[in-house]
Homo-oligomer: A and B are copies of this chain.
Amino acid sequence: MTKLCGLRERKKQQTRAALVDAALALFEAKGFEAATVEEIAATAEVSPRTFFRYFAAKEAVLLAVHDGEFDRVVAAIEQGATLAEAILGTLGDDHEQFRRVQELVAHTPALLATFLERSVEQERRLVDLLLPAAADERQVLRTRLLVAATYAALRVAIESWLTTPGSDCAQHVRDALAMLEQGLVVTG
Tell me if A183 is interfacial: C-beta within 8 Å of chain B: yes
Mark the stretch among A4-12, A20-28, A32-40, A174-182 that contacts chain B: A174-182
Q: Which residues of B contact A141 (CB under 8 A)?
A: 156, 160, 175-176, 179
Q: Are the C-beta atoms of B180 and A185 separated by less than 8 Å?
A: no
Complex Cα distance A142/B148, Å? 17
Q: Which residues of B contact A179 (CB under 8 A)?
A: 141-142, 145
Q: A113-B116, A116-B117, A145-B179 are in contact. Are A186 and B156 (CB under 8 A)?
A: no
Tell me if A68 is interfacial: C-beta within 8 Å of chain B: no
Which size class do A's interface residues fall under?
35 or more
Tell me if A80 is interfacial: C-beta within 8 Å of chain B: no
Complex Cα distance A184/B153, Å? 12
Q: Are the C-beta atoms of B181 and A186 separated by less than 8 Å?
A: yes
The 6 A-B pairs at the shortest CB distance, nearest first, are namely A183-B183, A116-B116, A113-B117, A148-B152, A113-B113, A152-B152
